[in-house]
Amino acid sequence: MRKVKSKVLKELDSNTTYDACTFYLKEDKYSIQKSTFKNCSFRSSVTFTDVSDCRFENCGFSEKFRLDLSSQKLQKIPDYVFEMAELQELCCKHNDIDVVPPEISQLKKLTVLELGFNKITSLPLQISKLKNLKNLSLSGNGLNTFPLEVLQIENLEVLSLSHNHIDSIPQNIDQLHLQSLNLQYNRFESFPLSLQNLRHLKKLYLSNNEMSELPSEIGKLQNLEMLYLSENRISYLPEEMQQLQKLIALDLRRNQLSSFPIATSHLPNLKKYDLSRNKIKQLPQQLQLPKLRSLELFDNEVKDISVILNELINLQELGLGMNKLSTLSDQIGNLRQLRFLDLSRNKLRKIPAKIGQLRLLQTLELQNNKLRELPPQVGQLQHLKKLELQHNKLNELPSEIGQLQSLEVLDAKNNNLQMLPSSIGKLMHLDRLELEKNSLCELPPEIGKMQNLRILRLDDNLIKELPDSIGYLSNLGLFTLRRNQIQKLPESITMLHKLQYLSLQENPIREYPDAIRSIINL
């Protein structure tokens, strides 16, 4: 066995005895066997995935000391683990472990214990001796009841019991000073009333259960910052919800709400609110949510969004896709902090010129509407990276689209486009251009100026020939032209050295350049 003494090291190896060494390790994870560490100092975080037959004697760990044994098909926690007295974090998730032995109590410095997705049905009483344990995960173990032994872990702050079969919580859970509790994917038919006494709770996860309502006692969780209730059957929120003044994030996706919950319309610290996939028809007349940055209302039945446009002027993300909007007022220009706007799958026939005031917008989704034109002011969106226009009735794109110098994705398939503006060649950062199923007869020569274009789809158009400038698309890797009227390819197409896929099915082409035969899909 190799011996190393009094060295400063950045690596470590198996079959080595280290004595009085100092480690500044640069890798994230290590797997070693049959090594001994005596009087060593670890000055950086270290994660081991295997330390079989290793010993740590009188060692110091300035940062995190973690053992990750996840997904190793273990049927038990290896015995050597319980000799690692300095261990701070132990992860054994995704194995076949069914028992946690009493020896777990020997890991006095343990702060994190991850035992998720095993076959554990109970814990030893000795787990109460882990005075430093703050984070425990027992998710995905098929637990039918709350493991009462957990109540004896006096300093526990984070508890995850998701993906089990639990349907009730003991009354004395307030023995714990939990800050985060994950009960997602269980069998709760009603909100566990015993949770009301967890006055230190900041994060509560109850998504994917079977709850139909929340009790008034929810208002007692006044330190709550994040509340996740998606995929339940909730149709109503009590007025006591307005007492959650510290709430930052609220997730109510996929419930049965038919109206915007009034009790949540005056939450001063709420930043992220997700109400997608409900049955909301109407918004309240007032929304006093001054810190709201993200509002998601995808897949509801909203017709009027004037309250959003007038009062939520600090929004950065707004999702209104798949609603029943038929008009969009000029007040859209009030939302000048928007980075993301989804108006897809509505019944919009026109976009107001004021859209140009959203100078910070990076993504604009307008697909699946009834638009016949875009306002020239769309060219003012200097930070726009993604523009989705597919499945509309657009006859043309405004020449101002060439001003979108940050644009990376332009999708305008399934429209009535007959020509492209020459200014499209100014989109120097465009990566993907999708124009399938239009009525294009030709491409402007300027298209060859889009030096960063990698994907170009032109299937199902009326194109008869390609401009010679197509050969200047030096980064083009995928080019599809199925079902057009092309009879001959320009010689310049052989200049596309990065082209890996070229699809030309159902074109009356008689001859193909030899240089591209290997990549043509016919």
- Other Cβ atoms less than 10 A from the Cβ of 330: the count is 12
pLDDT at 522: 56
What are the residues whose beta carbons fall under 8 Å from the beta carbon of 468, sequence distance 6 or more? Answer: 445, 448, 490, 491, 492
In angstroms, the CA 297 to CA 318 distance is: 8
Burial letters for 265-287: b for 16+ Cβ neighbours within 10 Å, e otherwise? Answer: bbbeebbbbbbbbbebbebeeeb
DSSP 234-266: -----GGGGG-TT--EEE--SS--SS--GGGTT
Kindly give, in sequence order, each residue whose CB lies less than 8 Å from that of residue 14, ignoring residues fewer than 6 positions away. 32, 33, 34, 35
Beta strand segments in 281-353, E:
294-296, 317-319, 340-342
How many CA within 13 A on the CB side of residue 77?
24
> Distance between CA atoms of 48 and 317, rounded to whole angstroms?
40
Q: Dmax of the chain from CA atoms? A: 81
Alpha-helical regions (H) of 193-303: none
Instruction: Locate the domains of the chain by residue range.
Output: 434-522
The strand ranges marked E within 366-406 are 386-388
b/e sequence 79-102, b meaning 16+ C-beta within 10 Å = eebbebebbbbbbbbbbebeebee
What 3-state class would DSSP assign to 104? Answer: helix
What does the alpha-carbon distance between residue 268 and residue 270 come to, in Å, rounded to a whole number? 6
Q: What topology is assigned to 434-522 in CATH?
A: 3.80.10
Token pair for residue 407?
Answer: 């644009």
Residues 190 and 166 sit within 8 Å (Cβ to Cβ): no
For residue 307, the 8-state DSSP code is: H
- State how far the Cα of 176 lies from the Cα of 133, in Å rounded to an integer: 12
Give the strands of the sheet with 60-61, arranged side by side: 8-9, 22-23, 41-42, 60-61
Q: Which two tokens stand for residue 445?
A: 């020569």
Which residues touch 514 (CB under 8 Å, ≥6 apart)? Answer: none
The one-digit pLDDT tens for each residue of the chain (522 residues) are: 899 999 999 999 999 999 999 999 987 799 999 999 999 999 999 999 999 999 999 999 999 999 999 999 999 999 999 999 999 999 999 999 999 999 999 999 999 999 999 999 999 999 999 999 999 999 999 999 999 999 999 999 999 999 999 999 999 999 999 999 999 999 999 999 999 999 999 999 999 999 999 999 999 999 999 999 999 999 999 999 999 999 999 999 999 999 999 999 999 999 999 999 999 999 999 999 999 999 999 999 999 999 999 999 999 999 999 999 999 999 999 999 999 999 999 999 999 999 999 999 999 999 999 999 999 999 999 999 999 999 999 999 999 999 999 999 999 999 999 999 999 999 999 999 999 999 999 999 999 999 999 999 999 999 999 999 999 999 999 999 999 999 999 999 999 999 999 999 999 998 888 777 777 765
Owner of token pair 């610290």? 269
Residue 367 in contact with residue 389, Cβ under 8 Å?
yes
Calculate the alpha carbon distances from 323 to 24, 345, 414, 467 in Å: 55, 7, 21, 41
Helix (H, G, I), strand (E, B) or coil at 469: helix
Say if CB 140 and CB 164 are below 8 A apart: yes
**CA nearest neighbour of 340 among 283, 384, 290, 289:** 384
Which residue has tokens 């690596």?
A: 11
> Residue 86: what pLDDT?
93
Note the pTM of the prediction, 2 decimals: 0.93
Give the integer Cα–Cα distance in Å for 25 and 269.
41
**Separation between Cα atoms, residue 480 and residue 459, nearest integer Å:** 6
Distances (CA, A) of 394 to 8, 374, 487: 67, 8, 28
